[in-house]
Structure 1
């Protein structure tokens, strides 16, 4: 789970029907449909069967059947008096389990807070789970707020975020190409790098320098920078990052940010190696 429940959430996923069409028929499609129902109920803060049916385009009998499966497994509860379905208690157990897996040790949290105070920027610790970037801890304040939108995981913005660029730069050329084939290079702002050749050249520079920057590529008016964190084997397991108004980043400020990020990332890497 994210460290702070103040982080805003995105609206319901718009491409669920597209994903379902790709799933085809059979058991996989049934699982996809069941999970899509769960996502709609979660995104809407509860929903009636009719609302779920309309959002997903499922026949009402199919929707009822899938809802009852989720109720039977305790992933949803049926509030009969209100004819609504809401999230069940088993999801809380899953959340606790996920938090245990990506929980941030106190020394790491303290180091991210120190980075926030030193630079006067929102500061982040992200970990990589497969090909997903999970923002595990954020240190910010009213004067230096975090970027928004900021979800638990970034699925399709790796090419446009400093976190994601660190991950992509650490991959082999083949793995990076597969990642981009899967997730795409959507243009999020007017400065997002969407050309694959240009992005490949940019990632080579990230790999060479050991620091990733994005200037208004993910969110207008914001700049972000990140440096890799390594595990005991030397593999990239996450990143330390900051975000700040782009207008405040001149050459001198960029050098200050990079120095502070490298220092924080090195300290956290050492702590993770030794415990």
Structure 2
């Protein structure tokens, strides 16, 4: 009896239909979960880098509960981002030495980290490149509400100070093109409700002046951004504080602007971003 059970187990292990972790008795071991995760990533790529779990499950014919499980794993591993139910590919990190002192070019976050400690605020940097708003560096104390969905900065640039700062420097035609690709939608009760309102507001922002917002991007937070130019790219250095510190934004923004100008005057910024 024992030998019969052992033979049955051995046959099950060798049969790819009964043991899906093998593609053939003599072939390499293939983990089905890995295969399915790769299929999800490929499907996401085909959809332009953004899709819901239901869309990915339908495209790959993977059961929806399994799809959710795999997507959670990919999120934990940093291979995907989730913005309000839409799974996205993380933006490729640009070469970051363009907005930090020369001695810190190998670790741009260190520069932001020092500013963060000085201001007791989250700090991060964004740029407008290839028609998209990207966060490319941030301090380590960035709150969960922001770090959980960093790519949301691209699709909701109308809501946060860094995005508004960058979009204000575009032409009206460029802004309209951006909103065709990233329609305006409210994230909080304080967010502009539609494209027309967003366009009017952006047209009123002086392109080279700091921008502030309170609870437009995330409830409980306020942010400010100062614009800088790096070669031919528009960039912004931004800070974020709890909303109960919104009354400090003017002072904090002035200090942030002084730090950014000091880096520019130091001549340590390159124009090859």
Taking structure 2 as the reference length, what is the TM-score of the superposition? 0.59
Runs (5+) with no aligned partner, structure 2: 1-39, 63-72, 80-88
- Match of residue 81 from structure 1: none
- C-alpha contact 2:223 2:239 (8 A) present in aligned 1: yes
- C-alpha contact 1:132 1:153 (8 A) present in aligned 2: no
1:113 aligns to 2:113 (yes or no): yes
Separation of aligned partners in 2, 1:200 and 1:54: 31
Separation of aligned partners in 2, 1:147 and 1:57: 29
Q: How far apart are 1:59 and its partner, in Å?
A: 7.3
- C-alpha contact 2:169 2:207 (8 A) present in aligned 1: no
- C-alpha contact 1:123 1:242 (8 A) present in aligned 2: yes
- C-alpha contact 1:53 1:59 (8 A) present in aligned 2: no
1:256 aligns to 2:263 (yes or no): no
Separation of aligned partners in 2, 1:273 and 1:120: 28
Q: How far apart are 1:103 and its partner, in Å?
A: 3.9
- C-alpha contact 2:126 2:236 (8 A) present in aligned 1: yes
Q: 1:203 to 1:268 in 2, by over 3 A?
A: farther
Separation of aligned partners in 2, 1:59 and 1:127: 34
- Match of residue 239 from structure 2: 242
Separation of aligned partners in 2, 1:205 and 1:167: 13
- Match of residue 122 from structure 2: 122
- C-alpha contact 1:112 1:264 (8 A) present in aligned 2: no
Among candidates 102, 118, 128, match of residue 95 of structure 2: 102
1:35 aligns to 2:52 (yes or no): no
In terms of fraction of residues, the more helix-rich structure is: 1
Secondary structure in 2 matching 1:187:
coil
Secondary structure in 2 matching 1:136:
strand
- C-alpha contact 2:168 2:207 (8 A) present in aligned 1: no
Secondary structure in 2 matching 1:220:
coil
- Match of residue 57 from structure 2: 56
- Per-residue CA shift, 1:31-66, capped at 9, x if unaligned? xx98325699x99xxxxxxxx998432475xx8xxx
- Match of residue 229 from structure 1: 228
1:135 aligns to 2:135 (yes or no): yes
Taking structure 1 as the reference length, what is the TM-score of the superposition? 0.59
Q: How far apart are 1:150 and its partner, in Å?
A: 3.2
Q: How far apart are 1:201 and its partner, in Å?
A: 3.3
- Per-residue CA shift, 1:129-176, capped at 9, x if unaligned? 2222222221143xx736433324633101111121112101001110
Q: How many residues align?
A: 197
Runs (5+) with no aligned partner, structure 1: 1-32, 44-51, 64-85
Q: How far apart are 1:208 and its partner, in Å?
A: 5.1
Across the aligned residues of Structure 1 and Structure 2, the Cα RMSD in angstroms comes to 3.7
Separation of aligned partners in 1, 2:41 and 2:219: 36
